Structure 1
């Protein structure tokens, strides 16, 4: 678990032939797989073990804006962030995808995703209100003050 609150997280992805569709660029469903990959990596990197063992997350909604695309062999950076405190059992996660050069994002996002995620109790499979201690490492400092 990170020592200080963390509100963003990045992964780097290199596109391969399996990511490419009939139009020669990354398939729309692949972008969504990557959204889930970066969100899961963020949760696993930051949450304490007791939270990993107790809770699961499911997506309830995705909104995607496509402004560009990439071909096979391209490197992209997926950067996720949580800007607002949770609302009950849900919170909004944003993911931007950037072209990458030398491991760094270049220019404006080529794909932007806004997703609503809901927290599930692992034992009961029921929605749970997100406690402040679960949200704290993911939201900007001070965003949990009203929880």
Structure 2
């Protein structure tokens, strides 16, 4: 676990594998697919930590994505994606980080390599019925930031 400004940071991981439909004219995963994977892992993390009541009461909206591309993968290759929330929410908003890493360095060394794609996204919590921003409850913020 890493320590963020708000306390211990809860991390969530998923594996993504590049399929034929993910590959662009350059022969690697299209940038739009990386963005979809950023959203996919965020949604999976939400479903992992949210109670049924929280899920029924809220929806999420992205207000900003910032993505750095430092490498890529080809069809059939996989990456491990890791997401975390580095800081306490500010009202209805918080930032979420995502890092995609190969499972081994290019030289075949075991262990996770440096990120080939990383993203910082700002998310806003909305009331599901009114579609208006709602403050992230402290109990939810504590669960996202605190390791089990």
What's the TM-score bracket when you normalise by the shorter of the two chains? 0.7 to 0.9
Match of 1:111 among 117, 120, 127: 117
Number of the residue aligned with 2:80: 77
What is the CA–CA distance in structure 2 between the aligned matches of 1:63 and 1:46, rounded to whole Å?
24
SS state of the match for residue 79, structure 1?
A: strand
1:13 to 11, 16, 20: 16
Equivalent of 1:124 in 114, 126, 130: 130
Count the aligned residue pairs.
Answer: 135
What are structure 2's unaligned runs of at least 5 residues? 1-7, 105-109
- The answer to whether structure 1 residue 53 and structure 2 residue 59 are counterparts is no
Structure 1 segments unaligned to the other structure (5+ residues): 142-147
**Aligned equivalents of 1:105, 1:17: Cα separation in 2:** 26
Once the two structures are superposed, residues 74-122 of structure 1 have per-residue CA deviations (whole angstroms, 9 ceiling, x without a partner) of: 0111100011000111000000000125xx8621000000000000000
Cα separation, partners in 2 of 1:105 and 1:94, compared to 1, 3 Å: farther
1:135 equivalenced with 2:138 (yes/no): no
Which segments of structure 1 move beyond 2 Å, counting only runs of 4 or more?
Answer: none
What is the RMSD computed on CA atoms of the aligned residues? 1.6
TM, length-normalised to structure 1 = 0.87
Aligned to 1:94: 97
Q: Report the TM-score, using the length of structure 2 for normalisation.
A: 0.86
Alpha-carbon shift at residue 6 of structure 1 (Å): 6.5
Partner of 1:65: 68
Quote the residue 2:34 is aligned against.
31
